[in-house]
Structure 1
Amino acid sequence: MKVSILVSDLSKSGAGRWGGAVRTFLLAQALKKLHYDVEILGFVFGDDPPKTLKTAWPMTTVPGRNYPGFLQSSQTLVGKINGDVIYALRPKPTTFGLALLKRLQSRKPIILDIDDWELSWHGGDRLQYRPNIKQLARDILKPNGALRYPDHPYYLKWMEKMVSRADGITVHTQFLQDRFGGIYVPNGKDTTLFDPNLYDPQASRLKYGLADYRILMFPGAPRPYKGIEDILTALDRLNRSDLRLVIVGGSPYDDYDQQLIERWGRWIIKLPTFPVEQMPEVVCAAHVVVVPQKDTPAAQAQFPLKLTDGMAMAKPILATRVGDIPEILSNTGILVDPSSPEQLAEKIQWIFENLDAVNALGIKARERCIQEYSIDTMAMTLESLLRRFA
């Protein structure tokens, strides 16, 4: 059986930005474990995805355009969907909307994966779009009009109302399951690739210029709700010259990284984005992986991939009690309240005074990751769902 994974944006600023480490490719890996034929299709709103991704996965891309050009782009992409099952990522017009259109033509079943609450970025259930006549005309007729964007929040709200039309739903947090139902399929990690026994932490620190410091690592894209400012405020409180926060990859969305550096540059070391194959060596350089999420709907809806990066590499994890994080770690990490720099400072101090005990927690975290959050476990859960459509 062939599965077509539909993605809204495969560009370098979309699903292609982390070199294969995002949910699109985790699902693809899990499906390949089950010996399904997998194709990945999507629009490109920006630069093409990295060549390494195109080489690793059968990938079909179509240039993304705003309305009215989007209608032609959609027709092109729908015509290229060849799978027996369509796996649409997120309830968006650019994915789920196209899947529904394809089902009208071919009766192919649709699985909808929801790994984020898109409306949380736009006011959630409070979102209203009530323009006056002039504003509506501008939004429709101007070349950069808001309603010309295929995934405008108003269209996302429409798509949420159609979620029940999917033949199956997968989610990766309790927040999303409570909201949309479906089967819980948490993000898996390739624990064979992310194996701490294959790397030397000190050699990694030397390679990446980190050997002189005690490293708190955030391997991801900083956003205000991810709590990086709380970690940096904690470092201000501690005022220890041997501590550094290493941000790996940075934000592809805006200049938030630069804002952090302008205020807290003395504590920050920024590393570039690396292909997924290199990330185990990078994470190996950390003394602690930090996931200081704030308690917001956007954070509650997410499964931070940084958690399984650290867990798989047997790293101590310092995180906040937000969403599914306490359940994911299950006593294998160190937890504090969200938005609490003073608690973070206290725990950072304690961690480096008790590294042996904390590293033992990291070993337990890897064991839990292998059991609950590996690609193999992800595949086992998907198998029961896909069997319906065989």
Structure 2
Amino acid sequence: MLYQMLEDDFDVEIIGPASNKGIWFPLRSLKGIHIKISRTRNMLKMIDGEIVFASKPLIGSFGVGILAKILKGKKLLVDIDDWQLGFIKHEYSKLNFAQKVIRLVKDLKRFFYIDSYWNCMLCEKLLFFSDGITVSNSFLKNRFKGTTIYHVRDETLFNPERFQKNALREEHNIPINDKIILFLGTIRSHKGIESLISAIHEIKNQHVKLMLINSCDDNYSLGLKNEAESKLGKRVILLGPISFEETPEFLAIADLYVIPQTESFASSGQIPAKLFDAMSMGLPIIATNISDIPDILQECGWIVKSNSPAEIASAIIHAIENPDEAIKKGKKARQIYLETYSLKIVKPKLTNFVFEIIQNSKS
């Protein structure tokens, strides 16, 4: 989305490392984006623009940007959309003292991995090299300062008027009278999917079904899928990764979107981008009281306690039994999105931010 917000005013290209699997699946099908893939050690040679805009404070992005600043005189910006060190602290919190020591030693050996403690910790310490920082929520702003740029979506692509729910359900063999509760994204332990599965299990209405669309296939995700199938049987629809362009289609199929984040180091510095996906598509939303979520949702969703399947279940039942209220909240979500978080609204803010960096470098 940074690319899309800047491409009209600047010549933009994406340079980055990739594993043997290539470009991240949800982005592979995007057209019109100039992407160069290279090994990390060759990325510096490929940088020829005035400004390097690093994605996340990591060695493979921000570290390369620091070298470009020192050796090539480039201006260096960094976008911090999640608290990377928080993800690692969350994992470390599950370990005992001996396990933490072992993990710290291992992380030193795997320094360049994005989930290495030393990689994330060092890059946070080196943020003084940056000429500007953008962040995605108030936690990150308090920690790193910078300019807040929320996750945005193109309101012309994420537009509920483009889709017919009944036709899409027929295409995907989903009964019209089923109530589809959607979670779409990367399954991680701080996402609270266990609570969502338990909440659906508590609901007696057999037409209430969970659609779980997951973008990865690690052991944790596979375990949760097995748990969902065991508890819910035919009341769960499990799908693998979908492309970014397919996302609004599956949102259009759903009746409710649930964001069951748990309170943790990982979630404190994160605003799920899927929150804005759901708002843009006019879906009523149930979410936990984590990070900036309550402030963003305001009157366009229901806020529940984290780690509370009973509260999630109660909110789902309420939304289903009060369809007029749910529709009203969905329309309000779309309105707030268009007025505050859409591409049209946020794009000028980011563009002006970059222009100011350029202007300051010339003065």
**Normalising to structure 2: TM-score of the pair?**
0.88
| Alignment of 1:169 onto 2:143 | no
Supply the distance in 1 between the matched residues of 2:279 and 2:114 (Cα, whole angstroms): 37
Given that 1:40 and 1:60 are in contact with CA atoms closer than 8 Å, whether structure 2 keeps it comes out as yes
Letter in structure 2 aligned against 1:46: N
Change (3 A) 1:105 1:361: same
Give how far 1:155 is off.
2.5
Query: CA separation in 2, counterparts of 1:124 and 1:234?
Result: 24
1:58 alignment partner AA: H
Summarize deviations over 1:191-211 as a string: whole Å, max 9, x none. 111111111111112222222
Closer, same or farther: CA 316–54 of 1 in aligned 2, 3 Å: closer
In the alignment, structure 1 residue 333 sits paired with structure 2 residue 298: no
Say yes or no: does 1:42 pair with 2:8: no
Residue 106 of structure 1 corresponds to: 72
**1:312 and 2:277 matched:** no
SS in 2 for 1:330: helix
Distance in 1 (CA, whole Å) between partners of 2:202 and 2:73 is: 60
Cα 1:242/1:159, change in 2 over 3 Å: same
- Closer/same/farther in 2, CA of residues 298 and 236 from structure 1, 3 Å limit: same
Aligned position for 1:5: none
* 1:256 matches 2:230: no
Of residues 203, 211, 222 in structure 2, which corresponds to 1:238? 203
Deviation at 1:119, TM superposition (A): 1.2
Please report how far the alpha carbon of residue 57 of structure 1 lies from its aligned counterpart in structure 2 after TM superposition.
1.0
Q: Give yes or no for the alignment of 1:59 onto 2:42.
A: no
Q: CA deviation at 1:251?
A: 4.1
How far apart are the structure 2 equivalents of 1:139 and 1:333?
40
Provide, for residues 158-202 of structure 1, a one-character-per-residue CA deviation record: whole Å limited to 9, x for no partner. 111111220000000111111111000001111111111111111
1:196 aligns with 2:160: yes
Counterpart residue identity of residue 83, structure 2: W
Aligned to 2:5: 30
- Equivalent residue letter for 2:248: P
Per the alignment, do residues 284 and 88 of structure 1 end up closer, same or farther by CA in structure 2, a change over 3 Å counting?
same
Q: 1:380 to 1:296 in 2, by over 3 A?
A: same
Residue 194 of structure 2 is matched in structure 1 by: 229
Indicate how the Cα distance of structure 1 residues 131 and 255 shifts in structure 2: closer, same or farther if over 3 A, else same.
Answer: closer
Asked if the contact 1:169–1:181 (Cα under 8 Å) also holds between the matched residues in 2, the reply is yes
**TM-score, normalised relative to structure 1:** 0.83
3-state DSSP of counterpart to 1:57: coil
Stretches of structure 2 lacking an aligned partner (at least 5 in a row)? none
Give the counterpart letter for 1:225 in structure 2.
Answer: H
RMSD between aligned residues: 2.5
Cα offset, 1:307, TM superposition: 1.0
Q: 1:156 to 1:366 in 2, by over 3 A?
A: same
Hey, what's the Cα distance between the residues in 2 that align with 1:353 and 1:84?
56
Counterpart position of 2:335: 367
Percent identical residues: 29
CA distance in structure 2 between the aligned counterparts of 1:272 and 1:46, rounded to whole angstroms: 19
Unaligned runs of 5+ in 1: 1-25, 64-72
Contact 1:223 1:251 survives alignment (8 Å): no
Task: Determine the structure 1 residue equivalent to 2:242.
Answer: 274
Cα offset, 1:52, TM superposition: 4.5
Task: Check conservation: 1:289, 1:306, Cα contact below 8 A.
Answer: no
Residues 86 and 110 in structure 1, CA contact (< 8 A), matched pair in contact too: yes
For residues 151 and 215 of structure 1, the distance between their equivalents in structure 2, rounded to whole angstroms, comes to 34
User: 2:194 and 2:91 mapped to 1: Cα distance?
Assistant: 27
Distance apart, 1:253 and its partner CA: 5.5
Q: Is the 8 A contact 1:251 1:257 kept in 2?
A: no
**CA distance in 1: counterparts of 2:143 and 2:3, whole angstroms:** 25
